[in-house]
Chain A
Amino acid sequence: MIRLIRIELKKILPYRAFWLLAGFYALSLTFTLIVSQVIINKILLEAGKSAPIPLLKISLYQFPRVWNNLTYMAGFLTLFLAIIVIFFVCNEFSNKTLRQNIINGLSRKEFILSKLYFILIFSLAATLLIFLIGLILGLIHSNDVDIGEIFSSRLQFILGYFIEVFTYLVFAFFIAFLLKKAGLAVITLLFYTMIEQIIIWWKIPSEYVKFFPMKAFGRLVHFPRIPLPEINGQSIRFQDYVSILDSAIALLYAGIFVLLIYLLIRKRDL
């Protein structure tokens, strides 16, 4: 395992394009987070002018709700991470280095494993990044910080986010592996997301929606936590926890895709 991880790191760490894309991701993430807070404050400010009762200035990033909101918003940018994975995997095809790796003595299984380790580490790094950003934003936006609030049960959204990213990236790995061409894979990923959305909207009863892959990967953290006042006496149902069933479905899908990748690489001429 250590050997496979070292191989992957030697392959990717000196790769400039990787750092460019990763840096771009980190920047757009920070940007999205800041801008969404600014916009919400603006809306509230406008609404406050005409409201009979003064609206409190709210923050998305107070402890403990920061974990929920942050992971929700970061979820929109996971596509970037998927694109990095797609490029990294497709490079092995376009440079034919996969072929050379096998010739040199890597087994096909080891190749898949090494890429899965990479995806695992990459997802962990992305999660750690979110955790650190959450910690910083939370400290800035909370008045009196209580350790119990920082490490509240809402921290499970960080775990949910990790599973979300990991399973989504495994799906990206599968698409990349199936199609071999980076451009084609990225387009397919986008196109598939759209098609699935349309099919669900068109025909599928809501209790089955969670069984669709993109929904499965995307719904672990699926509703932000904003302290909205009650509307018509009904409070909006927020997501309070990450569903175990949803996590299980997502992980099951990831398992299926890994299996498909394995079957593909066994049959394929490289």
Chain B
Amino acid sequence: MPETILSICNLTKNYGRIRAVNDLSLDVNKGEVYGILGPNGSGKTTTLSMILDVVNPTSGTFTWFGQPPSHHQRKRIGSILEQPLFYPYLSPLQNLKVLSLIKEVPDTPSEELLKMVGLYERRRSKFSTFSYGMRQRMALAASLLSNPDVLILDEPTNGLDPQGIAEVRDLIRMTASRGVTIILASHLLDEVQKTCTHVCVLDKGKRLFAGSVQEVLQETVLVEIAAHDMATLQHALVGSPMIRSMELKQDLLLVNLAENISGSDLNAALYRQGIVLSHLVQRKKTLENYFLELLKSSE
């Protein structure tokens, strides 16, 4: 039985009439890299804010490390929530000092961390003089200061240069390999696919899916097909039980196959209906396909 790090149970948050998070339940186990996906405004940040106790849930509960929430647990969690927030008139070293006092850990790794994120030369400049990407890097350094058991990253690659993005990816992998549990909200599906072991997809505050990335990629079979007469082809597939959905892209039809249906099954079926395919390619399975698919079908 894996050790449960975070367990969210029927969490709901209303902002006036907007329901930002809707009856959300999920579990994150030790060592997982858990991706939270969802379009803008789907409630990712609100969810993370609730489990970090800066937003009060309308209803529902959560536990950290199997315990009811308390501020002592948050000392074991390193987090970046949306924007990097620091005292603008303090330098990185001074900011990390304040942080270390809050977290009750020594601030000895400060210089090492600043070197790692490439801010060592600027360790004595005021935070307010930093560029956006530098601030994000500073936030990364801060999130690692306490040698946390859990890392919560909300859009950690926001505003970073390509090198920075690659560094963050390496950092996540490295940190995860040390057994640190990571919860990651991101729009970069490619990133999530490369780094996460589990995902949860939110839309309008509701959970559409939760499971392992492997599971998702096995489940989805996407093929692109074309025929001489695209209209007939499309017509033949409308409402077919063999597919989940389809989408016309230029002169190709992108088809998401139903469970246990392969490309050749589809081809055979169409052939029986007198439609000859001029093109049939199985697309590489990606989280992105699945994600877009899922959102479309939930509309």
Residues in A lying within 8 Å of B, measured CB to CB:
3, 6-7, 10-11, 14-17, 95-97, 99-107, 110, 267-270
| Nearest B residue (CB) for A18 | B89
Q: Count how many chain B residues have C-beta atoms less than 8 Å from C-beta atoms of the other chain.
A: 30
The 8 A CB mask of B70-88 against A (1 = contact, 0 = none) is: 1111110101010101111
Instruction: Assess the B85–A99 pair: CB atoms within 8 A.
Output: yes
Q: Which of B53, B55, B101 touches A3 (beta carbons < 8 Å)?
A: B101
| Nearest A residue (CB) for B143 | A104
Pairs A–B under 8 Å by Cβ, sample size 5: A10-B98, A11-B98, A99-B81, A100-B86, A105-B71
Report if A95-B74 is in contact (Cβ < 8 Å); known contacts: A10-B97, A103-B52. Answer: no
Instruction: Assess the B103–A269 pair: CB atoms within 8 A.
Output: no
Instruction: Assess the B104–A97 pair: CB atoms within 8 A.
Output: no
Say how far A1's CB is from chain B's closest CB, in angstroms. 13
Report if A95-B81 is in contact (Cβ < 8 Å); known contacts: A10-B94, A269-B54, A270-B54. Answer: no
Instruction: Assess the A102–B86 pair: CB atoms within 8 A.
Output: no
A99 and B77 CA atoms in complex are apart in Å by 15
Provide the residues of chain A in CB contact with B40, threshold 8 Å. Answer: none
Say how far B18's CB is from chain A's closest CB, in angstroms. 13
B56 at the binding interface (Cβ < 8 Å): yes
Say how far B124's CB is from chain A's closest CB, in angstroms. 11
Provide the residues of chain B in CB contact with A106, threshold 8 Å. Answer: 71, 102
Kindly identify, within residues 39 to 98 of chain B, every residue whose CB is under 8 Å from any CB belonging to chain A.
49, 52-56, 70-75, 77, 79, 81, 83, 85-90, 94, 97-98
Provide the residues of chain B in CB contact with A6, threshold 8 Å. Answer: 101
B99 at the binding interface (Cβ < 8 Å): yes
Say how far B105's CB is from chain A's closest CB, in angstroms. 10
Kindly identify, within residues 90 to 135 of chain B, every residue whose CB is under 8 Å from any CB belonging to chain A.
90, 94, 97-99, 101-104
| Nearest B residue (CB) for A266 | B56
Say how far A107's CB is from chain B's closest CB, in angstroms. 4
A270 and B74 CA atoms in complex are apart in Å by 16
A7 and B101 CA atoms in complex are apart in Å by 6
Could you count the A-B residue pairs with CB atoms below 8 Å apart for me: how many are there?
73
A33 and B21 CA atoms in complex are apart in Å by 59
A97 and B97 CA atoms in complex are apart in Å by 14
A97 and B128 CA atoms in complex are apart in Å by 13
Report if A95-B71 is in contact (Cβ < 8 Å); known contacts: A269-B55, A270-B55. Answer: no
Report if A102-B54 is in contact (Cβ < 8 Å); known contacts: A10-B97, A10-B101. Answer: yes
Say how far A110's CB is from chain B's closest CB, in angstroms. 7
Instruction: Assess the B98–A7 pair: CB atoms within 8 A.
Output: yes
Say how far A7's CB is from chain B's closest CB, in angstroms. 5
A268 and B71 CA atoms in complex are apart in Å by 16
Q: Which of A14, A99, A269 touches B89 (beta carbons < 8 Å)?
A: A14
Provide the residues of chain A in CB contact with B79, threshold 8 Å. Answer: 103-104
Provide the residues of chain A in CB contact with B90, threshold 8 Å. Answer: 11, 14
Provide the residues of chain A in CB contact with B73, threshold 8 Å. Answer: 105
Report if A110-B71 is in contact (Cβ < 8 Å); known contacts: A99-B54, A269-B54, A269-B56. Answer: yes
Say how far A42's CB is from chain B's closest CB, in angstroms. 44
Provide the residues of chain B in CB contact with A3, threshold 8 Å. Answer: 101, 104
Q: Which of B52, B56, B72, B103 touches A267 (beta carbons < 8 Å)?
A: B56
Task: Give 18 new A-B contacts, CB below 8 A, not counting A7-B98, A100-B85.
Answer: A3-B104, A7-B101, A10-B98, A14-B94, A95-B87, A97-B86, A99-B54, A99-B81, A102-B71, A102-B74, A103-B54, A103-B81, A104-B74, A104-B75, A104-B99, A105-B71, A105-B77, A106-B102
Report if A105-B72 is in contact (Cβ < 8 Å); known contacts: A3-B101, A7-B98, A10-B94. Answer: yes
Provide the residues of chain B in CB contact with A103, threshold 8 Å. Answer: 52-54, 74, 79, 81
Provide the residues of chain A in CB contact with B55, threshold 8 Å. Answer: 269-270
A31 and B77 CA atoms in complex are apart in Å by 51
| Nearest B residue (CB) for A91 | B87
Instruction: Assess the A95–B88 pair: CB atoms within 8 A.
Output: yes
A193 and B103 CA atoms in complex are apart in Å by 40
A102 and B73 CA atoms in complex are apart in Å by 11
Say how far A127's CB is from chain B's closest CB, in angstroms. 27
A3 and B71 CA atoms in complex are apart in Å by 15
A268 and B55 CA atoms in complex are apart in Å by 8
Report if A97-B81 is in contact (Cβ < 8 Å); known contacts: A104-B99, A105-B72. Answer: no
Instruction: Assess the A102–B87 pair: CB atoms within 8 A.
Output: no
A23 and B91 CA atoms in complex are apart in Å by 23
Q: Which of B49, B87, B97, B103 touches A104 (beta carbons < 8 Å)?
A: B103
Instruction: Assess the A105–B103 pair: CB atoms within 8 A.
Output: yes
Instruction: Assess the B72–A96 pair: CB atoms within 8 A.
Output: no
Report if A105-B102 is in contact (Cβ < 8 Å); known contacts: A14-B94, A270-B54. Answer: yes
Provide the residues of chain B in CB contact with A16, threshold 8 Å. Answer: 89
A95 and B90 CA atoms in complex are apart in Å by 12
| Nearest A residue (CB) for B81 | A103
Instruction: Assess the A97–B85 pair: CB atoms within 8 A.
Output: yes
Instruction: Assess the A105–B85 pair: CB atoms within 8 A.
Output: no
Instruction: Assess the A11–B87 pair: CB atoms within 8 A.
Output: yes
| Nearest B residue (CB) for A16 | B89
